[in-house]
Chains A and B, each alone.
Chain A
Amino acid sequence: MSETAGFASEIVYSGQFSDGRTARTTNVDVRFAEHGIDLFKTQSGELLGGWPYEELESSVFVQTGEPAHLGNKTMLGARLFVPNNAGHRADFASELLVRVPHLSRKRANLQVVFWLTGAAVASVLAIIALNMMEFSPARSIAQMIPEQIRKGLGQQVIASLGRGKKACHSPAGDKAFGKILARLDQGTGKAGKFDVKVIPIGMMNAFAAPGEYIVVSKKLLDFVETPEELAGVIAHEMGHGEKMHPEAGVVRALGISAGISIAMGGSTGGLGDLGGLLLQLKYSRTAETEADTLALQTLKAAQIPAKPFAAFFARLEKEHGGLADLKKALEEAGEKSKKTSDKAKKDKKNKESGEKKTSAGGDGIWRALQLLSTHPSSPERIQMIKSQPKWKSAPLLSATEWQALRKICDSK
């Protein structure tokens, strides 16, 4: 006989056969033959048929020492069940696996793990690559959002950031502010495109919201020293708005949260907190550079000097340096916890060593944050602004107008 004869086996296993048409079952004797398993009716010994090895399948993976539950690819629904006959001199499942290794659990499982891990790694790499190529699907999607919705989004952002505080107005202040905005509009060539407000919110900031809204905080208005500095800041935010950075940020944040919910196994929710999402927006280096470039074009066309804009950044760097704000906040938080722990009069030694640890840890975090910061460092930006050739410029506001603008939030 040929070498395949070695594959045949004289051992007879008893099993149960169902044809897949009804739930009836027939007791059968099962034998391993050369090219497949042969099924015989137990009572009469009559050959029912043979199932070729390559046609066997099993949704419950065949395991040594376990019952085998086999199907046949060409006989839909038909099943052969072979129990693991305790005390039998041989194990059907292990004999089967020698002949049909693909029915093993391990191989099928390994494949799934391999492909899934591969897919996950590939998608992470793809995202990183697309990011490096500055490909921003978020921005393309953002450009498709109708203006009305962008406006609505912007209003909500401003409302949630301002906690309902109204924009500041005073007759003389409004007039002065309008003068700056008119000059900037002259620079962008798009009169009335941007809606710029001063709002007394807690932080020192200026930001562009979706729908061509720009908010300057009262604290920032206090910080700038000249109308030209203020114009520079607003021009920069107009740059963000022109390039739809806020809208793209919203789309990106929504996309990320959807991605996370998929990774967490499909729990959805958190559609609600749009405001919270928007607060976390941060722009990339490229986005900041884009905004700066546009700001310089605007300033040039509006005949506003760029130097004060650079001076503003320099001062900001000096006083609030990059992430200095955050560091200060961390320090303040540390002070507070120190005070409360003093009150509690805890074990002094313990406390001192703990304090050292936290401050050292704080420094580490601080450095890590600086490394991770996506914002271009101010020196770079200052350098870029300063490197501009000087252009023709005209004064923006008179001293009295400027004073009126700075007091725009004072009148009730």
Chain B
Amino acid sequence: MDAEIVQVAESAPVAGETTQLEWRPVAGLAEISFKNFFLRLPTLGLYYFWGKTNLRRNLWGSVHLQGQPLEYTGKGWELFVGFLITMVVVFLPLGAAAVGLTLLFGKMFGATDPRAQLGILLLYPIFFYLIGVAQYRARNYRLSRTNWRGIRGHMAGSSWKYGWTFFWTTLVSLITLGWAMPWQATKLQTILTNDTRFGEEPLRFDALAKPLYLPFAIAWFAMVIGIGGIVYLIKGIGQKAAMAKALGVPVEAVMSPIEGGLLVLGIIALPLLYAVVSAFSISRKSNYFARHTHIQNARFELKTTPMSLIWLVLGNFFYIVLTLGMLSPIAQRRLASYIVGRASIEGAIDFDAISQSQAKIAKTGEGLAEAFDIDAF
């Protein structure tokens, strides 16, 4: 039984057709949550990698495309070994370098001089660079362990190159007080998407940064005004308090309740404000990026809304915080089902033309990403 098979009449590709991604939850998530939580201690943390793998198997298997689920084929030991290798190859030398630099600067400035602590700062660029590398490699590992109809994915580019782009664009974003961030996000996503292969089929990304700037500007100014207002209030109250101390009267005597009320309100409202404005800009960005992601002649479609996003994040916050992290798998499922339920593919894909990935499969995975703790799933 092989390629000689005569193809059974599949629904022939029709232009303009829409394929909805479906979320069909696989049973057993509660059990996974309990196990991941309670087995951590008796196994001295080692179970973490296996628990994470179990969770992914469950989540991946819940995503259906044209009636067939995704499949996660990664193994717990792959994550574990990847982590160990990273510890030995990256963090041991970095740790040694940190100690060495501290000693060196201690010698230059004297051990008690605060400048002696500056030596470690020299390592920060390396960390930034490695974050980008980690992102790329983790994505490659996950793609290579993600199958649909037996076809796996991979990343076709270089993680070191991506790390470098990540590094310098982050610098630009810092220097421009964040104003380069939409440009940076677009640039990085372009690399990530264009390097992505399903089988040997490339994805294409053609989004521009420009449409992201309006929501970004609104978010940026809202935050600057919000933070500025709170700083102003705190400063005012500080002066009043100093005045009260000088006069020898209680603070209440010189401060109006309105000021205090405003401050409390501001401190509570600021995170909420941030949540709302960033929800708007994240929702816009995700939908826009999805619409500009193509495979063959089809493109992706994502329909998130700011309010549903806020609701999702708030709910997840309580799932995680109130159960001390035990139900965080449920939170991850909520996020995954949210995205999948709102995603679809517009246009037809010729699946016969998508051939198996020829990329070498990495034996271990995600060590770096694990160390930086940068992944959502």
Contact = CB atoms under 8 A, between A and B. Distances in A.
Given A27-B8, A120-B46, A274-B102, A105 B28 contact: yes
Nearest to B2: A19
19 contacts: A18-B151, A22-B199, A22-B354, A23-B148, A23-B149, A25-B68, A61-B57, A105-B28, A112-B76, A113-B35, A113-B43, A149-B99, A149-B100, A152-B104, A152-B106, A262-B87, A265-B45, A266-B373, A274-B102
Contacts of A60: 26, 57, 60-61, 69, 71-72
User: Is chain A's binding surface mostly helix, strand, loop or mixed?
Assistant: mixed
B39 interface: yes
A17 B98 CA distance: 54
A22 B45 contact: no
Given A117-B43, A268-B91, A25 B106 contact: no
B57 A26 contact: no
A43 interface: yes
Interface residues of A, number: 64
Contacts of B167: none
A321 interface: no
Q: Interface SS of chain B: helix, strand, loop or mixed?
A: mixed
Interface string A110-148: 001100110110011000000000000000000000000
Contacts of B91: 268
Given A22-B351, A152-B106, A268-B91, A59 B73 contact: yes
Interface string A268-303: 100110100000000000000000000000000000
B353 A22 contact: yes
A361 interface: no
Interface of A: 16, 18-27, 39, 41-44, 48-49, 59-61, 63, 65-67, 69, 71, 77-79, 81, 83, 105, 109, 112-113, 116-117, 119-120, 123-124, 149, 152-153, 155-156, 158-160, 163-164, 254, 258, 262-268, 271-272, 274
B67 A16 contact: yes
Given A22-B354, A23-B199, A155-B106, A266 B48 contact: yes
B371 A268 contact: yes
A79 B150 contact: yes
B98 to A, nearest CB: 5
A73 B198 CA distance: 22
A401 B9 CA distance: 107
B69 A24 contact: no
Nearest to B45: A263
